[in-house]
Amino acid sequence: MEIYFAGSIRGAEADKPLFKRFIEHLSSHGKVLTEHSFDFDHSQEIRLDDHGIYELDTGWLKDADALVAEVSSPSLGVGYEIGYVEALGKPILCLYKRQQGRKLSAMIGGNRKLKIVEYDEEEEAMNAMDDFIDAIKKP
């Protein structure tokens, strides 16, 4: 099982410590292809230009069995990755932390091909990942 974890990287509100805990949790189910994408000091991506990052990440999207996307912050990259993986027909889980005065994009929240889970507590997100991966594993 290869899992692509997506989250806002360049957005102002990117929550890298949380993303790392999500990746660690997902690692119990399989290989997380983007496990080092949220390390600022990771040498591989830093050596790459934008086209190199694009080629690396879309290669992983093609390899992945499933996409888990954290969609609490607006992000062109995460939105693009969801559209890309949906076109490949692979299962997608979107995790959205409820925030006062904000609303998830209708292009994500209104898309019935996506599994959308809204959470308040981190544990709810962890449980949603377990349920999502278990459902894929069972034929």
Print the binding letters for residues 50-69 with a copy of itself: x by CB under 8 A, - otherwise: xxxxxx-x------------
Residues 72-111 that bind a copy of itself (CB under 8 A): 73-84, 86-87, 102-111
Range 86-119 burial, b when 16+ CB lie within 10 A, else e? eeeebbbbbbbbeeeeeebeeebeeeeebbbbbb
By CB under 8 A, residue 117 contacts a copy of itself: no
By CB under 8 A, residue 46 contacts a copy of itself: no
42 counts as binding a copy of itself under rule CB under 8 A = no
Q: How many residues does the chain have?
A: 139
φ, ψ (nearest 5 deg) of residue 92: -135, 130
Closest distance between a copy of itself and the C-beta of residue 96, in Å? 10
